[in-house]
Amino acid sequence: MDFRVKQAIEILSRTPSVLRAMLEGLSEPWVLNNYGEETFSPFDVVGHLIHGERTDWIPRTRIIIEQGEARTFDPFDRYAMYESSKGKRIAELLETFGSLRANSIETLRAMKLTPEQLALRGMHPRLGTVTMEALLATWTAHDLNHIAQIAKSMAYQYRDAAGPWATYLSILQK
């Protein structure tokens, strides 16, 4: 499938409601547990997505438009949520994410990006030259990746209880 901003927005705009449907009102074991060392819990994922809304996707889009490759993106701290989410509850994180994402979608729509702008280049601190299109496609895939990660984390809580059926469920494998 070729990248289209409108189609990306179809996914990006739904992520907050998907996360609310998956997580709102659940007990803490569902929200706070992960599936092993160096994996994120659903709570961690939502905090991570909040950090991305604040520091990654739209800020980098603006850098590409305004400065291109002349300014390297600020490095993204994949683990910033551990500090910024301390003391918060999942309901608060979901609300914050929903609000931030709505603003991001509004900003993205208002940009009315042209094919020429999608071809503009920026400078990633580790990947080097990237295009606007790649950034926005990655944003979309990133959301879907983390939705799958949340589902895996939740399913993994029943890996032992599933008994012999666990071998048939790829989501329960490490």
CATH code for the domain of 51:
1.20.120.450
Q: Which residue has the tokens 């208002």?
A: 110
Range of the domain at 16: 5-172
Residue 63 and residue 74: Cα distance in Å, rounded?
10
Task: Tally the domains of the chain.
Answer: 1
- How many Å is the maximal CA-CA distance in the chain? 56
Q: What is the mean pLDDT of residues 2-10?
A: 96
pLDDT beyond 80 at 174: no
Q: What is the pLDDT of residue 61?
A: 97
pLDDT at 115: 95
d(CA 167, CA 164): 6
pLDDT-based confidence at residue 57 (cuts at 50, 70, 90): very high
Instruction: Measure the CA–CA gap between 65 and 38, rounded to whole angstroms.
Output: 35
Residue 1: the pLDDT is: 85
Q: Tens of pLDDT along 139-169?
A: 999 999 999 999 999 999 999 999 999 999 9
* Total Cβ atoms within 10 A of residue 172: 18
**Average pLDDT of the residues in 26-36:** 96
d(CA 149, CA 168): 18
